[in-house]
Structure 1
């Protein structure tokens, strides 16, 4: 029997990282059964991939405050005391950062006498007007935080999808296990009947050998189902960090009463975290482009400073005692408005905006493709649901008829009216009808889940699974 759906390897790898965290050691289950909603709530707290996304979202939210604080005026305090010569020359040079400034008399010879001086200053800058750059920065930070939270919601949505598929896999394997046990019991009963008839000389020993072979085959199928169920439970334990066995999952019989409990699906796009992520990404790209435009505009900056100086050099080759250069001798202040603009910014802005234009187009097409995929999945799910509903009535008749045929063949075999082949064929038809019916229920869950995912009704669907 095919599993419900293939599970994504990448997310499982992330879940396996949970074993590296000692504070999240695997716990034994302390309650009898878990609903799908309860398992999801546990997994969201335990899974490292979700905790990682939460950390990214928190970092993006913290970045909003950081951006706002960056817009405050900066105030720098500098102080120094220096010892050196004071030989000055005429001329002009561009500042090179590491070239010290020298203040002294211009003389006709080199003087190596040492002077000492100190300097302290407070310098401040504040952009009083930058043509909306600060607003663009704030909007960009908000969009980045929204994108990070949308990514978190998307990751949780994908985790719910994986757990829902796994949960329905387990339900299917539990019901298949029940069917396989019934099949083993039937062949064990046939084996017992043949042994009694063989000892009475009514049936040949060959029938007993054939019955033993069919019983062994049924047991092998049961062993396979048991292994598949254990593997699915182990994977679920990996997601949740809880040691689970079959008794912890509601071992209900999947039947038509569950199937006919249809949900009403709201196809509003806003309910789908997968689409919300692409929308948020496009909003973020748009704010990037706006921020870029604003960053290349001129700005008006208010600047101001106060400072004090002292020096042991008095000028005219008069070098006072070194101690006189400590302690401020003169104080000054200055204030002004600066206008800054790079005339090449227009060219740089044009190049960057061209890049952002295509990035935004790519983001919009990614959204359109995801929307198209969901529309297709929704349409396919509707077709599958209709097919399942049409088939269930026939499968129910098939299953009841197969039960009746097997009961008749068993009685006829005891009376010597049919061969063992007729009886085993009837047993196989009954087993196949039970499995086919279970497959139809499984298909209904698969299609319903697919429709819930595509229409953004996953939470409602999960809550309906009691």
Structure 2
């Protein structure tokens, strides 16, 4: 019974390890989802877009009237004097009679004030400010979307590079195994005097060369895994990807797709929104030249410890706190004002012209990027044709190289050919397998390039 329990435990851990090993295989969709969730630049641009959204709310609330409540309670004298003054900082706003001499009678006073100040008509300035905020939000949102799109392309390219690296590593491993078998046979035959001893040395050199090539392939694989991990927001040097996912021909190649409509390309939409934002800012600067109509409303209450006949009798005041702060006089005021700084026309005209130049520059950048994507689209079609030609030719090359290696191997075992011929056949087979692995990957890289040029990632990802 204890043996059965131990067997069960061992079987359980074996099965768990197998499931874990399978779970470590990373498919492309999972890599992209992880990258979009973890990559720092995307998270940063999400925050920028959220901030721009709050900017729209703030711009709308800028149109609300200014409503101010204030209250003050003070204690001091009210000596008055005739004379001019300006309202500079630190002046005292005490009001009192102009007496013939200074006195130091002091009492409490209070001022209670509510004020409404509303720029209710500004010739569309408030609305244009909201339009600018909306344009900023749209630009930042499109910036986020184009960053996601480009990052999907980057992750996919890194994934394909890692797939190619792992396939090349596997081919180099197979080549090393063939070289080891070749060396073992040569060593045995040389020991029995059937072949020259130098053949054994040459076989050992070929094993060393194959082992170095395998190590280099592993190094490249680890480097590509690290690059993919950085794009996914994780720190790794070992990743197992689905190398069999590119063994078939993309369905895109079986349909005639001549679409050149790039109007929905995420990157081009972002560049268009930059132009739109600049135009909105230019319109806003124009609005700054116009006057402003303002509604004014004031309600004021005042309290004072100085009585009404204080001018005639300077003893008519009290230092009682409650009497001084209790409001005894109230005033209100309503009005409409117009303000127009005429020099703003001179100041804002160069600013409008400068913004127009910026819009023209952004338009030039948009046209350049648009031309580049059309050129990339034409290049992608050519790359697909060339990659498919190599894709179809690669199996023929591998088959011929395999047959040649098998033939040379049999001939060498029977003493009918030299080790040089066998080594050349081994090298040819290794090169054919390498070309095959690269050809398979190049087809998918070409499809990815076309997807990037079209601005439609589904063209590529729907193949997986």
**TM-score higher than 0.5:** yes
SS at structure 2 position matched to 1:165: helix
Matched, 1:269 2:268: no
Where does residue 35 of structure 1 map in the other structure? 27
Determine if contact 2:109/2:325 at 8 Å carries over to the other structure.
Answer: yes
SS at structure 2 position matched to 1:418: coil
Determine if contact 2:250/2:444 at 8 Å carries over to the other structure.
Answer: no
Change (3 A) 1:226 1:444: same
**Deviations 1:404-439 (CA, angstroms, capped at 9, x unpaired):** 111111111112111100000011111112212222
Q: CA deviation at 1:62?
A: 1.3
Determine if contact 2:288/2:344 at 8 Å carries over to the other structure.
Answer: no
The more displaced of 443-452 and 398-407 is 443-452
Change (3 A) 1:254 1:169: same
Where does residue 66 of structure 2 map in the other structure? 74
The more displaced of 314-323 and 241-250 is 241-250
For the pair shown, the structure with the greater C-alpha radius of gyration is 2
Partners in 2 of 1:116 and 1:220 — Cα distance? 96
Change (3 A) 1:30 1:384: closer
Matched, 1:408 2:407: yes
Partners in 2 of 1:283 and 1:53 — Cα distance? 19
**Deviations 1:313-351 (CA, angstroms, capped at 9, x unpaired):** 234153411223220010110000010110101111201
Determine if contact 1:37/1:463 at 8 Å carries over to the other structure.
Answer: no
Where does residue 108 of structure 1 map in the other structure? 100
- 266, 279, 285: which one pairs with 1:292? 285
Partners in 1 of 2:242 and 2:394 — Cα distance? 24
Where does residue 14 of structure 1 map in the other structure? none
Q: CA deviation at 1:136?
A: 0.4
Partners in 1 of 2:434 and 2:21 — Cα distance? 31
Determine if contact 1:79/1:121 at 8 Å carries over to the other structure.
Answer: yes
Change (3 A) 1:172 1:100: same
SS at structure 2 position matched to 1:107: coil
Determine if contact 1:163/1:236 at 8 Å carries over to the other structure.
Answer: yes
Change (3 A) 1:86 1:168: same
The more displaced of 233-242 and 411-420 is 233-242
Structure 2: state its 5+ residue gaps: 1-19
Matched, 1:148 2:140: yes
- 283, 292, 304: which one pairs with 1:311? 304
Matched, 1:320 2:317: yes
Where does residue 203 of structure 2 map in the other structure? 211
Q: CA deviation at 1:173?
A: 0.9
Partners in 1 of 2:103 and 2:245 — Cα distance? 103
- 164, 172, 175: which one pairs with 1:180? 172
Where does residue 10 of structure 2 map in the other structure? none
Name the Cα RMSD after superposition. Answer: 2.2
TM-score by length of 1: 0.88
SS at structure 2 position matched to 1:252: helix
Matched, 1:301 2:294: yes
Change (3 A) 1:211 1:272: same
1:88-167 correspondence runs (5 A): 88-167=80-159
Partners in 2 of 1:428 and 1:253 — Cα distance? 27
Q: CA deviation at 1:302?
A: 0.7
Q: CA deviation at 1:278?
A: 0.8
Q: CA deviation at 1:73?
A: 1.2
Structure 1: state its 5+ residue gaps: 1-27
